[in-house]
Amino acid sequence: MPAGYSGTPLPKKLGIKEGHVVAIIDGPDHIERLLVPLPGDVVLREGARGKPDVTLAFCHTAASLSKRVELLWRLAFPDRSVWVCWPKKASPKFRDLTEDGVRDRVLGRGLVDVKVCAIDNDYSGLKLMVRKELRGS
């Protein structure tokens, strides 16, 4: 485990629970290894079909995130979690997207960040949910 990382398994940090469907959008090749150990009966699927319980959307540039804001809104509505994951500044994968850049692109659409975590040495993630007042009754 890299220095500075908690001992909490990544699935627990991401809120993945037994029976969840987890959508992975443009994840790195090693994403399934990062998600071990998964709780029972979790289904991992590539892409944004249906209404997954948790979505992990990997965005490598500000432009790629901007193109996905409406999709992320639909995946989060009304009460599901979406994690936007981006390359850390220290990573060789870094281009132009930062934590503040994620917020700049999603907060105006009614998504709010509720948690941040390290995904691995290359990626950070910001958990987004629809603002309570926009969820309806």
Q: pLDDT per residue over 100-130, tens digit each?
A: 999 999 999 999 999 999 999 999 999 999 9
Q: How confident is the model at residue 136 (pLDDT cuts 50, 70, 90)?
A: confident
Look at residue 134 and give its three-state secondary structure: helix
Q: How confident is the model at residue 137 (pLDDT cuts 50, 70, 90)?
A: low
Map tokens 């029972």 to a residue: 40
Contact 55, 89 (CB under 8 A): no
Look at residue 127 and give its three-state secondary structure: strand
pLDDT surpassing 70 at residue 18? yes
| 18 class by beta-carbon count within 10 Å (0-12 exposed, 13-18 middle, 19+ buried) | exposed
Q: The domain 10-134 is classified under which CATH number: 3.30.1600.10, 3.40.50.150, 3.40.50.2300, 3.40.50.2000?
A: 3.40.50.150
86-122 CB burial, b ≥16 within 10 A, e <16? bbbeeeeeeeebebebbbebbeeebbeeeeebbbbeb
Mean pLDDT of all residues in the chain?
94
| 68 class by beta-carbon count within 10 Å (0-12 exposed, 13-18 middle, 19+ buried) | buried
pLDDT of residue 81: 96
> Could you tell me what percent of the chain has a pLDDT over 70?
95
Where along the chain do its domains lie?
Answer: 10-134
